[in-house]
Amino acid sequence: MQSTAFDFENNAHKALDDAELRQAMARVATNFTGGRAAAAARLPEFEALRDRAVEIKNHTIANLDHYLALFERNVEKRGGKVHWCATPREARETILSLCRQVGARTVTKGKSMIAEEIALNPFLAENGVEPIETDLGEYIIQLADEPPSHIIGPAVHKTKRQVADLFHEHHRKYGKEKILTEGGDMVAEAREILRQKFLDADVGITGANFLVAETGSTIIVTNEGNGDLTQTLPQMHIVISAIDKVVPNLEDVSTILRVLARSATGQEMSVYTTFSTGPRRDGDLDGPGQFHVVLLDNGRSGLLGTEKQDLLRCIRCGACMNHCPVYHAVGGHAYGWVYPGPIGAAIDPVFLGLEEARHLPQASTFCGKCEQVCPMRIPLPKIMRHWREESFERRVTPVVPRTLMEAWAFVARHPRLYGLGARLAARILKALGRDGKIVSLPLGSGWTDGRDFPAPEGRTFQEMWSARRGARS
Amino acid sequence: MTARDRLFANLGRALAMAPGRVSPAEAAARLDRRTPNLIPDRAQGSGEELVERFVQWAERVQATTARVATLADVPAAAADFLNRHNLPQRLRLAPHPLIEGLDWSSRPLIEVASGRAEAHDLSSLALAFAGIAETGTLMLHSGPQTPTTLNFLPDNHIVLLPARAIAGSYEAAWARLRAAFGDDWPRTVNLVTGPSRTADIEQELILGAHGPRRLHIIIVDDDARQEG
């Protein structure tokens, strides 16, 4: 997708004025957080499982070349093929040429964030292959021609009425004239329309939550069953995934699965966890005749050995955004690119460059909730702080804030100057106050437009401290 | 140099001195040990205890269950399910000897056919390889006798699960699958926990998004086949 991350400030302001978005985001803030807390409480070993999951991924990342090569060997042993792609462009072209091999006219798609990362849909459409999203949330935003606003609930920003209007507009061509009001009727209508698409598709494209080196399997974790119809019915199954998804064996993935759904939706286990290994076997009555795994790097390998390497542990559960006060306030679209929320703030600069995405690591209060709930214990605030430092040092931060920060740093390193400045500020602010409150503050309207600023009482802490010490001795 | 060569060259360079780096032999040994990492208490236990826990968790996620003594009781249990939901008396059966060998003569109204599922099939009867008690999860795999379409195309997914196939943990079920298949791994392994659902419209839980609207599990205590 086309990034608007550079325009985060404007995006966020617009989002804050959107009443329907506010309503939708309030649901995220309560439902997902409550669900995760309850699921974690039901499993006494939850915290210990998180620790083991972190160990597994750390071990895998330290030996990534070994496990990727083993994964490839096992895919090929079972008749599949792995395609290595350094860039989004290579991945798009690989997928298109696979589609052309079977003369594909339509492809059904299961939910995949990597497909968003490489902007696959517009590319296929431009080249005469119609992509059809089949996850209900992805289907809704495809009709709306919008990007996802959440990594596991792509249409979480849409209200039921908006969905009803979209279906009314786009389903007329199938003879569906009624404006629906019940969620159940909307699901049934989409089910009926998409069922035919599943049956007609030439190729099915899914993502992968994990790749298992031991068996050469790709795994999808879903609730709807759309990913399974996507990969079982057409003659070719293409998996689009990335090099950081590999885990050593089935024991390892079982451990991680125990924290995935609980962190994401609060489910004990998602409904369908599907392991796909090669094409259909001789004698099988169904399943795809061809199995291809397209593995993307797109800068991930460059994170190895850096202070941001921990990002490679991410399993894309969405817990960080579900618990983020900034995400709750502005929603996913404001971030302007594929991955929103704290994980996006930490990882989007890897893909977009810091020049484009410099606002995102600033979009945090550092409350620390994201790190607290991350099943993989990724130190997201620390990584955002690294980006902020880099932004300053590489002069990506514009000159005014950079100069102010330099001035602040100078003052903070000179105690006498700091004391003088603080004494002056305390007195000026006291003079500006009425009844202990400041209603309007020059250069501080961002604060005072929304609420009063408490006026200081006129002396600094250091003054009071030395006065008290003087009184004692 | 291909993209693959470049990637592996980069990885080799970046990881040469990485903390936690092990030799290929050590990594292979870790893999072969297949040591479970941490099995929750909830997945421990045996026999009847696990069957009950399986039922409890499966029903929590809107699956329904029935428990019968022998294979001879399965047709009646399947018919009860169809009747209860006022469904047409037609079933697509897994072409597996255990399922095809069921005696439907006590239920002459039920029309049965074996094979993969087709678009018009409303109900299927499939065979689970294992049950997993810790989350009420079924393990099914693809194969000539167990086509995957039976698990996804029909609106009503009826699954026969032998009681002795219920394991405590995912790891225990994997061990059984490895023992059964060795290197001849099936194309698809499905872990199924309840019927299909979505919460994509205002986070309201709605069953039957794309896969089955109903999942009914018939647990058979004694799955020995009667001769004659």
CB-CB neighbours of A134 under 10 Å = 29
Which among A43, A65, A159 has CB closest to B40? A43
Q: Where are the domains of chain A?
A: 43-301, 313-399, 414-472
Q: What is the mean pLDDT of chain A?
A: 95
Quick check: B7 and A84 CB within 8 A?
A: yes
pLDDT at residue number A102: 98
Quick check: B193 and A243 CB within 8 A?
A: no
Quick check: A268 and B193 CB within 8 A?
A: yes
Helix or strand holding residue A97 (H, E):
helix A88-101
pLDDT at residue number B227: 55
CB pairs under 8 A between A and B: 261
The answer to whether A212 touches A56, Cβ cutoff 8 Å, is: no
Quick check: B147 and A286 CB within 8 A?
A: yes
Give yes or no for residue A461 having a pLDDT over 50. yes
pLDDT at residue number B226: 65
Q: Does B113 touch chain A (CB under 8 A)?
A: no
Give the whole-angstrom CA distance, residue B188 versus residue B150: 13
Q: What is the dihedral of CA A181, A186, A189, A193, to 10 degrees?
A: 140
Residues 6+ apart with CB under 8 A from B71: B98, B101, B102, B220, B222, B223, B224, B225, B226
**Do the domain assignments include residue B38?**
no
Residue of A134, A271, A306 to mutate for B, most B C-beta atoms under 10 A:
A271
What type of residue is B156? N
Q: What is the pLDDT along chain B (228 residues), one digit of tens a residue?
A: 899 999 999 999 999 999 999 999 999 999 999 999 999 999 999 999 999 999 999 999 999 999 999 999 999 999 999 999 999 999 999 999 999 999 999 898 999 999 999 999 999 999 999 999 999 999 999 999 999 999 999 999 999 999 999 999 999 999 999 999 998 999 999 999 999 999 999 999 999 999 999 999 999 999 887 654
pLDDT at residue number A470: 78
CA nearest neighbour of A87 among A111, A125, A119, A128: A119
What type of residue is B165? A
The answer to whether A205 touches A238, Cβ cutoff 8 Å, is: yes
Judge residue A294's burial from the number of C-beta atoms within 10 Å of its C-beta, 0-12 exposed, 13-18 middle, 19 or more buried. buried
**Do the domain assignments include residue B68?**
yes
pLDDT at residue number B228: 43
Assembly ipTM: 0.97
Give yes or no for residue A131 having a pLDDT over 50. yes
Mean pLDDT to the nearest integer, A321-328: 97
Quick check: B187 and A224 CB within 8 A?
A: no
Give the whole-angstrom CA distance, residue A265 versus residue A316: 12
**Do the domain assignments include residue B121?**
yes
Give yes or no for residue A50 having a pLDDT over 60. yes
Q: Does B10 touch chain A (CB under 8 A)?
A: yes
φ/ψ of residue B93, rounded to 5: -100, 145
Which among B2, B95, B187 has CB closest to A287? B187
Residues 6+ apart with CB under 8 A from A269: A257, A261, B135, B137, B191, B193
Which among B7, B40, B194 has CB closest to A86? B7
CATH for B86: 3.40.50.10420
Give yes or no for residue A438 having a pLDDT over 70. yes
pLDDT at residue number A473: 58
pLDDT at residue number A189: 97
pLDDT at residue number B224: 87
Q: Does B124 touch chain A (CB under 8 A)?
A: no
Number of compact structural domains in chain B? 1
Q: Which domain holds residue B191?
A: 46-222
Quick check: A217 and B174 CB within 8 A?
A: no
Quick check: A275 and B188 CB within 8 A?
A: yes
Of 3.20.19.10, 3.40.50.10420, 3.30.70.1880, 2.60.40.10, which CATH number belongs to A43-301?
3.40.50.10420
The answer to whether B39 touches B168, Cβ cutoff 8 Å, is: yes
pLDDT at residue number A441: 84
Which among B3, B200, B212 has CB closest to A153? B200
Give yes or no for residue A326 having a pLDDT over 90. yes
Give the whole-angstrom CA distance, residue A211 versus residue A217: 6
* Secondary structure letter of residue B187 according to DSSP: S
